[in-house]
Amino acid sequence: MEPKYQLIVKVPSGMKITNLPRPKSQGRIEMRGVAVGTVLNCTAIINVDGVSYGQLVPQNPQKPEWIRIKDADMEYVDVIPLQSDAQTGSGDIAAAINRLATAVEALRK
C-alpha cells in the first residue's frame, strides 16, 4: 500500500488505532495506542457520519487499521499530503517532508 498522506497525532493524551472506521457502539475495537507526535502513513481518508477517518498502512497486513482524523468538535491529527492530485513529483514529497519537520518541531516546543 502506497501512502498518500502522513498523519501527525496532535492530541496531548495520544490516540487509539482501531479496526473499523466507526463508533465503539457499532463494533469498533481499539487495537493499540499512539502518543502525541507519532507520524502515521495513511492510504485513504473517508467520512463516516460526519467524522473523518484515515486508513493506515497497517503493521500487520491481515488487520486493517484506522484512526479518527476529525469530527465536528475537534481535529485529532495533522494531515500532510504526500502527493498532489494534479502531479506526483519529488517536489511535492520534499515539500511534505519540510511541512512534517516544521510540525514536529512545533509539537516539541
CB 96 within 8 A of CB 84: no
**Residue range 49-80, pLDDT digits in tens:** 999 999 999 999 999 999 999 998 999 999 99
Cα separation values, 40 from 9, 13, 23, 27, Å: 8, 16, 21, 23
User: Cell 485529532 appears where?
Assistant: 76
Looking at this protein, which amino acid is placed at residue 51? V
Q: How confident is the model at residue 108 (pLDDT cuts 50, 70, 90)?
A: confident
- Could you tell me the pTM of the whole model? 0.74
Please give the pLDDT value at position 89: 57
Q: Domains plus CATH for the chain? A: 5-108 (2.30.30)
Three-class SS of residue 41? strand
In percent, the amount of the chain with pLDDT more than 90 equals 68
